[in-house]
């Protein structure tokens, strides 16, 4: 019997076998974990903090809520959510990469967020949580690294409570005329150079630039959220569309 045709996906601009992508993405974030926060500040000139603040404010999280922060990384969002939900709420910081999650856990402990936070190593495509568990799920700069984004969105929809919402903060497509050319020059020339100088890892930051270009645009991602069963889906362009915040509800 002939072998079943191997399924492929993209790793940046490269085509790879689906089963290979997870390992290669893990290697990238193992490599950048220790310098991740520094590089975020350098790459965005600190603006990523404003993007994340807007996401937190838009999430509408309240005391007592149950929050799942996917691709939590160094726990920027999870830390703030833990302060908002208080002792009667819970935040689960989850990531597929153990190195990133360890950095996030260390940061949370240093900041005193220990009583209402759990850490779970998990793949967004097959979340190990019960149905209708969370008031809010967030994924910040992580969805573009997921192989089957449609599967992940359905998995997220399943674990949301009725009335719960998903927020996706992610790089997107510039909407200001002429900005795309400037952004391309920055992404493919300056970004890898900064990765080489600051993090001693040019290749990983070249992949990150490529992964941004392969990620669905604003309207395509909105439709994917609708197809996953989310309703009242909308998005907010930030920094001229370089970043977009998508929001959808489980009704």
Tell me, what CATH number does 118's domain have? 3.40.50.150
pLDDT value at residue 190: 83
The residues pairing with 66 across neighbouring beta strands, listed in sequence order, are 90
91 beta partners: 67, 117
> Are the C-beta atoms of residues 160 and 167 closer than 8 Å to each other?
no
**pLDDT of res. 154:** 98
Specify the residue for token string 């996706």.
168
How many domains is the chain partitioned into structurally? 1
CB atoms inside a 10 Å sphere around CB 59: 25
CA gap 214, 83 in Å, rounded: 35
Structural domain of residue 39, as residue ranges? 8-176+205-249
Pairing of strands 134-140, 160-171: parallel
Structure token pair of residue 183? 């952004």
The packing angle between helices 36-44 and 191-198, to 10°, is 140
Residue 163, number of CB atoms within 10 A of its CB: 10
Residue segments in the chain with a per-residue pLDDT below the cut of 50: 1-3
pLDDT of residue 5: 60
Within a domain: 182: no
Would 112 be classed as within a structural domain? Answer: yes
Cα 94 from Cα 231, distance rounded (Å) = 24
d(CA 54, CA 75): 16
pLDDT for the residue 36: 74
Q: What is the DSSP letter of 1?
A: -
Placement of tokens 């992404």 in the chain? 187
Contact assessment for residue 67 and residue 61, using Cβ atoms and an 8 Å cutoff? yes
**Residue 168 located in a structural domain:** yes
pLDDT at position 2: 43
Does residue 42 form part of some domain? yes
- The predicted structure's pLDDT at residue 1: 41
């Amino acid at each position: 019997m002939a072998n079943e045709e191997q399924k492929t996906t993209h790793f940046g601009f490269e085509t790879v076998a689906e089963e290979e992508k997870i390992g290669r993405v893990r290697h990238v974030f193992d490599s950048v974990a220790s310098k991740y926060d520094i590089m975020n500040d350098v790459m965005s000139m600190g603006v990523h903090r404003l993007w994340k603040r807007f996401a937190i404010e838009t999430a509408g999280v309240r005391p007592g809520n149950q929050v799942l922060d996917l691709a939590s990384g160094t726990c920027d969002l999870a830390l703030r959510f833990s302060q908002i939900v208080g002792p009667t709420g819970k935040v689960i910081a989850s990531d597929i990469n153990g190195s990133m999650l360890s950095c996030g856990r260390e940061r949370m402990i240093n900041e005193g967020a220990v009583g209402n936070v759990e850490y779970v190593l998990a793949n967004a495509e097959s979340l190990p949580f019960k149905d209708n568990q969370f008031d809010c799920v967030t994924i910040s700069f992580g969805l573009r690294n997921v192989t089957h984004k449609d599967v992940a969105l359905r998995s997220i929809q399943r674990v949301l409570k009725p009335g719960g919402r998903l927020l996706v903060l992610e790089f997107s497509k510039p909407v200001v005329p002429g900005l795309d050319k400037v952004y391309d020059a920055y992404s493919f020339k300056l970004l890898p150079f900064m990765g080489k100088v600051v993090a001693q890892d040019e290749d990983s930051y070249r992949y990150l630039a490529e992964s941004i270009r392969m990620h669905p645009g604003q309207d395509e991602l909105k439709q994917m959220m609708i197809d996953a069963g989310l309703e009242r889906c909308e998005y907010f362009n930030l920094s001229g569309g370089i970043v977009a915040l998508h929001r959808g509800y489980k009704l």
